[in-house]
Structure formats: structure tokens, C-alpha cells
Amino acid sequence: MYFAGQQTHSPRQSWLLRGACLALFMLLTACGFTLRGVTPLPFDTLYIGIPDNTLFGADVRRALRAASPNTKLVATPKEAQAILQQVANDRTLREVSLNAQGRVEEYELGINYTFRLIDDKGRALIPDTTLSIFREMPYDDQIVQAKQGQIETLYNSMQRDLVARLLRRMTAPEVRKAFETREQRGEDGEIPLYDPTAPAQRATPAPWQTPSTTDPANLR
């Protein structure tokens, strides 16, 4: 059925339209345009001092490869123009609500992640920076086992949010400026120095890293 004012397209017209859109996209790419949200890193090689046998470490590497495909992730700090060092990665669990019987009704989960980004001489491109993220979770002490699994799932979701925040921080314009002016700023003594060969932190397996609702040491 055809209504007045309605436009129809033949299959041939649809293919021509798709071809024109593809040609326009390729032209913009050739002219140096990039998709919004993808900001390449200013250095050619990067060492990531986060254990690669963790979900967080794997997510960080995957995000950086997607955002800056021309930056090579290298195996040692000696090969890198820039080094991402993990300073601390702590999980917290806190009681925030109790019922009339004094039983926990809600927990607050937290991650405090501290990192720095330095060049191959140890000059800070991003000095020690802490990213914190918190989530609240209702709790029922009748289903402790299921809730513990839910806690781990929630922490993993929080870590994915941290990856996005870390990526935005590393691809910010001020990081590019810091990298391009590192020689002058280093001579002027304006930036802190760190050890570029400092070993990466050892990874703690996730089940043992996650705070437990049955461990009094984690509650306050």
C-alpha cells in the first residue's frame, strides 16, 4: 500500500546510498578524521605494569589497543617510550545499613586504584593518581553464598568502569603535551622522577582478592 508523501527506495538505490556513505567515511578517514572517543596515545611504544593474568590487566590492554592501534605494547620497560605503573589496587567492603535486628541490609563496595604514567627516563607524564569507584549492594544473610558471587560480579563491573576512566585519563590532551615537553620540563626540575624499571605488582587471584561478607576484618 502506498500513501501520499511516502518515499520508497529500490534495492539499487539502497546499494548506491550505502556506497556513497562508505566512500564518505573513507574520505574522512584519509583526511585524518577519527571516530569520536578514539584518541591515539602520543607515544609509539608502551609498557603496561599491570599483571596480564588478571581480568583487569587484560581489559586495560584490550582498551588501549582499540584506542591507539599504532602504539605497540612491549614486553619490558626498556623497550618502551612510556610506562604505565600500577601503584595500588585495593578493594573495600563496608556496612552501610542495618535492620532492626542489627543485621546488615546493605554493603558499599569500593575500589581505590592508584597509577602513574612515566617516560623511559622516569619522568612523570601523569603523577600518582587515584581513581575511586563505589557501588551499593542490598544484602540478605540467608543467601550468603549467592551474595558472595554477586559481589565478585559487581567488582568486575566496577573494574570495567575503571578501565574506561583510566583510558580517558591517559588519552587526555595534557598527557600529549606532557610527553612532547618532557625534555624541557625535566631540565627545569618541574616533574617528579620514578624508577622506570620498578617491578610490576604481583597479581592476587580474584577469589582471594575479593572481600568476604563473612570476614570481620573487612567490615567497619
Rg (CA), the chain: 24
Range 178-203 average pLDDT: 80
Range 77-92 average pLDDT: 95
pLDDT for position 23: 55
Q: Which domains does the chain have, with CATH numbers?
A: 45-185 (3.30.160.150)
Give the pLDDT band (50/70/90) at residue 171. Answer: very high
Task: Report the candidate in 99, 91, 88, 90 with the shortest Cα–Cα distance to residue 49.
Answer: 88
First-to-last C-alpha distance (Å) of the chain: 69
CA dihedral 40, 165, 213, 151 (to 10 degrees): -60
Q: In percent, how much of the chain has pLDDT > 70? A: 69
Range 125-150 average pLDDT: 82
Rounded to 5°, the CA angle 84-85-87 comes to 145
Task: Report the candidate in 85, 101, 7 with the shortest Cα–Cα distance to residue 46.
Answer: 85
Whole-angstrom Cα distance, residue 214 to residue 218?
A: 9
Give the pLDDT band (50/70/90) at residue 144. Answer: low
Q: Is the dihedral of CA 38, 177, 121, 126 positive or negative?
A: negative
Amino acid at 35: L
145 or 125: which leads in pLDDT: 125
184 or 82: which leads in pLDDT: 82
DSSP-assigned beta bridge partners for residue 72: 45
* Kind of pairing between the strands at 82-98 and 45-49: parallel
Our separate counts of H helices and E strands in the chain read 6, 5
Strands of 104-119's sheet in order across? 72-73, 45-49, 82-98, 104-119, 124-138
Is 50 exceeded by the pLDDT of residue 2? no
pLDDT for position 197: 85
pLDDT for position 211: 64
Mean pLDDT lowest among 61-65, 128-132, 138-142? 138-142
Range 114-125 average pLDDT: 96
